């Protein structure tokens, strides 16, 4: 295991006063963005583990043809819980947690714009999760995370689980909207002096875009589930074709939210990668403006492509063609990002630390997910591929490869800042390789399962062709993947108490969160430095080196006390 010497010269900006001792009850009343961020991250990771257990149960059921491990009802509940958990209770709020902790630090702010609103966002999220998981003890929902009407109406899904799902969408949606408004206000108003839009860290650009997407997309699903709720209980007929409603309307409303939701989930991950790659390649990000602009372009185009989830529905051909072309168009800025990331590595000096490995793994997986997305955008081809395991493979390459691998990169990269201790590099690498190969074994073969005609969301299948073998391979892979996740869980649990002390800036990184101590004091910064470039820490390190070299030649420099060096002010 590598050991980390604190970087020399040391930069310390806060006064040496420790934060007041706080009891465990203070977690319920805190409005500190960092503690709320930790609450978000820990809570959502617990939901990630629950969703993972649901996935493993499904893979066990599918490990053999015509298996009878779980009943059809339980199987439908499992995939409904799994999808809903991963989207609403893990990826989106985990990104909110990372943003909560790091956006104020990266822009040199002392907290979020609305600290109490911030606390409320978290508690709404937890309430949503608890309401949803409480349904496990009664009737879990079983209409899929997409909850297509009329299957989700009160006639076909009389159980209360469907209502629990509706409340989950409402509560987490409200949480996300409030959080997004807060993040937007923070980024717009609280940046350090000198941090113009052109010097905003790319993670913050991604979070800004994420916030705008949430503000536009979430109200649509909130409206749709409200209509479903009144259809179920108050006698309306929005989605009831027998009384003048439209079953197709649900699909339009759901995917008008659902497609931007994909970008809500992956854009922050793109931001994480754009932060980590330059640090470990020791090279500036290649094409800062192109990456920021492509983030915004993807977000805009994301609102024009929702009907590519509906190629098999009865809609006019003109719409099929339009949506195919708009989906093609969105591949351009996505490709640009990948080229820029590779160019960032090019001619750098790449240090294979765990965060870099997860980022490189992410890029290699996302290339596959992006390419399979082009197949799905061609609507006649999609007629064969949609609703099969090919699509299951695709969404996992973009969401697990795209969001989960970047979240793990973020965990390994920022854990030292949050806790003041390093994670074990050795265990990190073991975790990465288990997750990477586990992922490929699980999901590559699922493309073939889909091409061989196995639809998704089926609890059993006949052993036609090699379906049994392919499914066994996938099941074995899923357990390797799970083992990789557990290694990181163990790594985190151990390193919180006994990891190597990290110091303020263990990676020699570029952005302002590394300017303060690890973990940061409650007020983040006593002195906020003036930002002169997109990599303020590089400027600050250069300045510190200059000053520490200075005393021999220039006695004036020695009057700055080492413990309170106000760099770059």
Partner 1 sequence: MAFFTPQSGGSPNADEIASLYRIILYIALVIFVLVEGALGYALWKFRARKGAVAAQIRGNTRLEVGWTVAAAVILVVLAVITFAKLSAIQDPSNSGPNGQHLVGSDGVLYASAERKLPPNGKALNITVVGRQYLWQYVYPGAAEADGLGAPYAYEQMVVPTETTVSLDIVSSDVVHSWWIPELGGKFQAVPGYHNYTWFKISKPGVYRGQCANLCGRGHARMIADVKAVPPAQFEAWLAYQKVLIAEANAQAKIARAKLGKQIGAGQVENP
261 in active site: yes
Sort 87 into a burial class: Cβ within 10 Å, 0-12 / 13-18 / 19+.
buried
The answer to whether 68 contacts partner 1 (rule: CB under 8 A) is no
CB contact set of 185 (below 8 Å; sequence gap of 6+) = 113, 114
211 in active site: no
Task: Indicate the residue among 133 and 148 with the shorter CB distance to partner 1.
Answer: 148
Indicate which single residue of 4, 167, 322, 375 sits in contact with partner 1 (rule: CB under 8 A): 375
Distance separating alpha carbons of residues 97 and 38, to the nearest angstrom: 7
Restricted to residues 150-169, the positions that interact with partner 1 (CB under 8 A) are 150-151, 156
Indicate which single residue of 380, 555, 556, 561 sits in contact with partner 1 (rule: CB under 8 A): 380
Q: Out of 14, 34, 252, 259, which one is annotated catalytic?
A: 259
Helix axes 247-281, 354-377, angle to 10 degrees: 140
The answer to whether 500 contacts partner 1 (rule: CB under 8 A) is no
Candidate ranges 32-40, 328-336, 411-419, 505-513; the one touching partner 1 (CB under 8 A) = 328-336
Return the C-alpha torsion angle 345, 351, 357, 363, nearest 10. 0
Q: Out of 43, 176, 186, 294, which one is annotated catalytic?
A: 176
Sort 404 into a burial class: Cβ within 10 Å, 0-12 / 13-18 / 19+.
buried
Helix axes 288-301, 247-281, angle to 10 degrees: 170
The answer to whether 272 contacts partner 1 (rule: CB under 8 A) is no
Q: Are 7 and 430 in contact (CB under 8 A)?
A: no
Indicate which single residue of 235, 317, 318, 559 sits in contact with partner 1 (rule: CB under 8 A): 317
- DSSP assignment of 459-503, as one string? S-----TTHHHHHHHHHHHHHHHHHHHHHHHHHHHHHHHHSPB--
The answer to whether 70 contacts partner 1 (rule: CB under 8 A) is no
Q: Are 187 and 107 in contact (CB under 8 A)?
A: yes
237 in active site: no
The backbone torsions φ and ψ at residue 501, rounded to the nearest 5 degrees and listed phi first, read: -60, 130
CA dist 443 → 342, 361, 466 (Å): 24, 14, 16
The answer to whether 283 contacts partner 1 (rule: CB under 8 A) is yes
Indicate which single residue of 138, 197, 339, 490 sits in contact with partner 1 (rule: CB under 8 A): 339
Among candidate residues 569, 531, 322, 280, the one with its CA nearest the CA of residue 412: 280
The answer to whether 463 contacts partner 1 (rule: CB under 8 A) is no
495 in active site: no
Candidate ranges 24-32, 341-349, 397-405, 417-425; the one touching partner 1 (CB under 8 A) = 341-349
Could you tell me the smallest distance in angstroms from the CB atom of residue 87 to partner 1? 16
Q: Are 525 and 13 in contact (CB under 8 A)?
A: yes
Q: Out of 121, 209, 274, 511, which one is annotated catalytic?
A: 274
447 in active site: no
The answer to whether 41 contacts partner 1 (rule: CB under 8 A) is no
Indicate which single residue of 6, 7, 65, 287 sits in contact with partner 1 (rule: CB under 8 A): 287
170 in active site: no
437 in active site: no
Reduced to 3 states (helix: H, G, I; strand: E, B; else coil), residue 240 is coil
Candidate ranges 163-171, 209-217, 446-454, 482-490; the one touching partner 1 (CB under 8 A) = 446-454
Task: Indicate the residue among 189 and 313 with the shorter CB distance to partner 1.
Answer: 313
Could you tell me the smallest distance in angstroms from the CB atom of residue 28 to partner 1? 40
The answer to whether 5 contacts partner 1 (rule: CB under 8 A) is no
Site string for partner 1, 385-424 (x = CB under 8 A): xxxx------------------------------------
Restricted to residues 111-150, the positions that interact with partner 1 (CB under 8 A) are 142-144, 148, 150
Among candidate residues 314, 310, 339, the one with its CA nearest the CA of residue 327: 310
User: What positions carry a catalytic annotation?
Assistant: 82, 111, 145, 175-176, 259, 261, 263, 274, 308-309, 334, 337, 456
């Amino acid at each position: 295991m590598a050991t980390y010497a604190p970087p020399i010269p040391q930069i310390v900006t806060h006064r040496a006063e420790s934060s007041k001792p706080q009891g465990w009850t203070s977690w319920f009343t805190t409005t500190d963005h960092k503690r709320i961020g930790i609450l978000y991250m820990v809570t959502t990771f617990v939901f990630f583990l629950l969703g993972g257990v649901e996935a493993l149960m499904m893979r066990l059921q599918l490990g053999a043809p015509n298996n009878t491990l779980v009943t059809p009802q339980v199987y439908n509940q499992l995939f409904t819980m799994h999808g809903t958990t991963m989207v609403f209770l893990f990826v989106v709020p985990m990104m909110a947690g990372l943003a909560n902790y790091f956006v104020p630090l990266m822009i040199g702010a002392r907290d979020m714009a609305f600290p109490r609103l911030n606390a409320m966002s978290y508690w709404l999220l937890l309430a949503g999760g608890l309401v949803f998981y409480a349904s496990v003890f009664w009737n879990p929902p079983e209409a899929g995370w997409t909850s297509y009407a009329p299957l989700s109406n009160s006639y076909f899904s009389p159980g209360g689980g469907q209502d629990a799902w509706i409340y989950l969408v409402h509560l987490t949606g409200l949480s996300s909207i409030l959080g997004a408004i807060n993040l937007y206000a923070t980024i717009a108003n609280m940046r350090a002096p000198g941090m113009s839009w052109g010097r905003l860290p790319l993670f913050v650009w991604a979070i800004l875009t994420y916030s705008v997407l949430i503000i536009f997309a979430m109200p649509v699903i909130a409206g749709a589930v409200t209509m479903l709720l009144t259809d179920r209980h108050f006698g309306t007929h929005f989605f009831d074709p027998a009384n003048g409603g439209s079953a197709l309307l649900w699909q339009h409303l759901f995917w008008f939210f659902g497609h931007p939701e994909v970008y809500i989930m992956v854009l922050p991950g793109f931001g994480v990668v754009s932060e980590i790659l330059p640090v470990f390649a020791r090279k500036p990000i290649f094409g800062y403006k192109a990456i920021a602009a492509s983030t915004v372009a993807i977000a805009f185009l994301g609102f024009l492509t929702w009907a590519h989830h509906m190629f098999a529905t009865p809609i006019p051909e003109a719409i099929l063609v339009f949506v195919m072309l708009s989906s093609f168009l969105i591949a351009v800025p996505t490709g640009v990002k990948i080229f820029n990331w590779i160019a960032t590595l090019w001619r750098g000096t790449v240090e294979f630390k765990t965060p870099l490995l997860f980022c490189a793994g992410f890029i290699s997986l996302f290339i596959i997910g992006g390419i399979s997305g082009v197949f799905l955008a061609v609507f006649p081809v999609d007629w064969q591929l949609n609703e099969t395991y090919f699509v299951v493979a695709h969404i996992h390459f973009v969401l697990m490869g795209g969001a989960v691998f970047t979240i793990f990169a973020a965990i390994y990269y920022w854990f030292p800042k949050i806790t003041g201790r390093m994670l074990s590099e050795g265990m990190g690498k073991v975790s990465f390789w288990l997750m990477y190969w586990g992922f490929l074994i699980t999901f590559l073969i699922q493309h073939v399962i889909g091409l061989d005609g196995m639809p998704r969301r089926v609890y059993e299948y006949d052993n036609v062709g090699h379906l049994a073998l392919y499914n066994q391979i996938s099941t074995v892979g899923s357990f390797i993947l799970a083992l990789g996740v557990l290694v990181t869980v163990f790594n985190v649990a151990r390193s919180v108490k006994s990891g190597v002390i990290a110091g303020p800036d263990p990676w020699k990184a570029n952005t302002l969160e590394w300017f303060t101590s690890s973990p940061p004091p409650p007020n983040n910064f006593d002195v906020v430095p003036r930002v002169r470039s997109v990599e303020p820490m590089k400027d600050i390190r250069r300045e510190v080196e200059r000053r520490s070299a200075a005393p021999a030649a220039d006695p004036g420099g020695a009057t700055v006390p080492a413990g309170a060096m106000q760099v770059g002010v």
